[in-house]
Amino acid sequence: MKTDKTWLDDDGDAWRISLEWSYKGGVAYVSGFAMKAIDHDKPVTARLLREVPFGNIHKKQLVQENSLKETVLSLYDEAQADGVSLHSKIMEALGVSYPTASRHIRFARDSNLIP
């Protein structure tokens, strides 16, 4: 699973912080990290890395992504049992458009939850 967040450093420059998450023994840990400047060419320095609030980057999004995974997995099972398409089931249950349902399905497939 990957978490992306835009972060402003102490000088007000924007950065895209990307964390790759893995699980071991039911505990999430960071297994990869990337940082990219947004609309500036400031270098990544040791001082800058010490400023990054790693503890606050993942918590809310991680919960949202896990909740979405569980929802799509549940709706997948319902769609299979009802003999309807997963797109239709997601659109009806979540009140979203076809493209949004497709993104949810892709997210679940990329997470290896559904075939």
pLDDT at 80: 93
CA dist., res. 88 & res. 74, Å (int): 14
Query: Are the C-beta atoms of 90 and 109 separated by less than 8 Å?
Result: no
pLDDT at 26: 57
Confidence class of residue 65 from pLDDT cuts 50, 70 and 90? low
Model pTM score: 0.47
Query: Are the C-beta atoms of 79 and 101 separated by less than 8 Å?
Result: no
